[in-house]
Structure formats: structure tokens, C-alpha cells
Amino acid sequence: MSRFGTKEILNYWAGTDQFLDYNFVPGVQTETMGRKEFYADFMCSSVYIWSEYLTNKLTKPSHYYHLGAAPFCYADALVPRQQRKGICIFLPKWDIATGLDLGRIPFGVFRKIVQTSPEPVYAMAPAEQKHEWVLSFIENGLEDIKIISIFDDPGIEEWQLGLAVAMGKFRAFYFPLFTTATLCAYYSGAHVRYYDLGDVFYKFNKESTIDTYAELEDIHNKFQELWIENVDNREVIASMVKLFLCPHKRQTPDELLSSLYMLNFYSNRLTENHGRHWDDWFYSNSTGKIIEDAVPLPLCSKEEAIENLERKGKFYDTLEYHPRVAELIPQL
């Protein structure tokens, strides 16, 4: 299975059960912002990307990558509209490169959100970290806030659809960082707010192929600050959605299938002619299949979903980048 159901939703939209050979690079990613794109250039054979600025950084021939819409755009189109209610706080995560000091978390921030909200408040825990957050909330007298998660396993095939269900369920979301999920919330049509956790991250003192977000590049901080200053500025936010999610690069199922077939072809040809790194081959072929019954809501028909995608995506087709976003793009 691919991480966060990325390849599964692309294959589902394209209408194929084949395990096509290609990798992918996410949208707002610490490893790529203000840095050379080493992973996609040298560790992947063919790669699906959905951040427009990445095409200016890649040095490999263009037939080895495809710039398309974020997988979430397709998941969002497939999930039926819901009546929004409630508040959802996205909780920060830790990983192999970045630690999170739970003892320094200002839990009063969450308490204040509850006190100022007339609606039920939930907290969204990262995959595999729900238990630790539940204990921390109980220890700090916040057991009334229900801790939820998209799925507990980041390898679940239906992850993108689960995210789209969650994004369409709540009226408003709170985020502590500028992330892909932040932009997905905007794209889904929810209200988005920032909450400040202070200095709670730390870098592990060990070598890692994953860069730490405890030490963000200057350009990442600039986008974070621009977002915080403009949480309700439609023009600025739409420009960032276009840049990092690329809804204007959406494709019909047949068009996407053709693009994925080409990525698969060039990966296979590279394997035949030169061989591949094991990691590249493994992750490029790690794909499962979506089980519709595993999604909390019945999905729209493909015809309805295509209409949904076109109705929402066409707004970005002629959108020009806001000057404050445009001036930052060369620094990415």
C-alpha cells in the first residue's frame, strides 16, 4: 500500500486495477521547500507530482514525471456534500526526524478554543499517535475533547477518501502549521484558523533521509507567516492552493490513466535497461485497492464526481498568482 492512499485514489479515479509502477512527491513538503529536489530526481524512476514549482527544480527528463492535481482533489470530488458542523483541531505530529515535546504543549490553547466555540470540538490525531494524545488530553483535564483520526494506519488504501470525508464534515479547522492538510481544508470549503503552539519541536541527533520541520527553511517560514497573516484572504489562499495542490491540472479518468501508463512505461523501461534501486522499485509498486465499503459515506458516481471536480477546479484555471505569493515562488 502507498502512504496515505495516494496511489490508490489516483488509480481509482483512473479506473484501473493494475498496480502501475510510479512514485509520488507530496505538496507542502519540508524536504523540497528551498532545497534541491534530490528524492524525485535521483531516488525515483518516474514520479507523480502536484506542486507546480517542482517542475522548475527537477533535472531529470520531463517524461519521467507528471504534474497533475493533488490526489485529494479527486477524493474531494468523489465524496458527497455534507452538512458541516463542529470544530476540528489538527494536532501536530512527530516522526523519525522530528520530536514533539508533549510536556511543552500549551494545552490552554485547546481549552480556549473549546470555551470560545458554540459547537462541539474534536481533535484530529496523526496516524499511529492517537493513544499518546488521548493520554495527554486526559492528564491535562481535556477529556471532554474527543480525539479522532482519519485512520490509525497511514497505509490504509482509503486514506484520501477518509480525509475528504473529514474535511467536508466540520465547519472549521485549526492548524498549528502550514501543511498540505491546511490547504486541503481550504479547498474543501471549510473555515480555517491558526493556533500557536510555540516552540515544541526538536530535531533528533541522528542521520535521516527525512528533513526535520523543527528547523524549517526560510522560505517555508515565509509561507507559514503569509498564511497566518492572510487566513481569510481569498486571493492569497487561492493562490497557495493553486501552487501546492494544482487543481488546474485536474484530468478526466481517461486522461489520468494515460498519464499513469506513461509513468509506468518509463519506469519499466528503466528497469529493463539499467536496473533500479530496491527502495525505488518497492515504493513505486506498493499499491493496494480501495474498498468502497470502508469509506464512511457512499461515494458519488464517477459522472457526478467529474462534474464536482470541474465545478470546483475551473476557478483556478485562469487564476493569476497573488503578488505576495508570486514573489516567493522563485525561492522555493
Q: What is the pLDDT of residues 175-191, one digit of tens each?
A: 999 999 999 999 999 99
Specify the long-range contacts of residues 91-94, CB closer than 8 Å, at least 24 apart: 91/123, 91/124, 91/125, 91/126, 91/129, 91/133, 92/126, 92/176, 92/177, 92/197, 92/200, 92/201, 93/126, 93/129, 94/129, 94/201
Q: pLDDT value at position 219?
A: 92
What CATH number labels 82-231? 3.40.50
Answer left, alpha or beta for residue 260, where phi above 0 means left and psi between -120 and 50 means alpha. Answer: alpha
Domain with CATH 3.40.50 in the chain: 82-231
The pLDDT confidence band at residue 204, using thresholds 50, 70 and 90, is: low
Q: Provide mean pLDDT across the span 221-244.
A: 97
Q: Give tens-digit pLDDT for 11-31.
A: 999 999 998 999 998 777 766
Q: pLDDT value at position 11?
A: 96
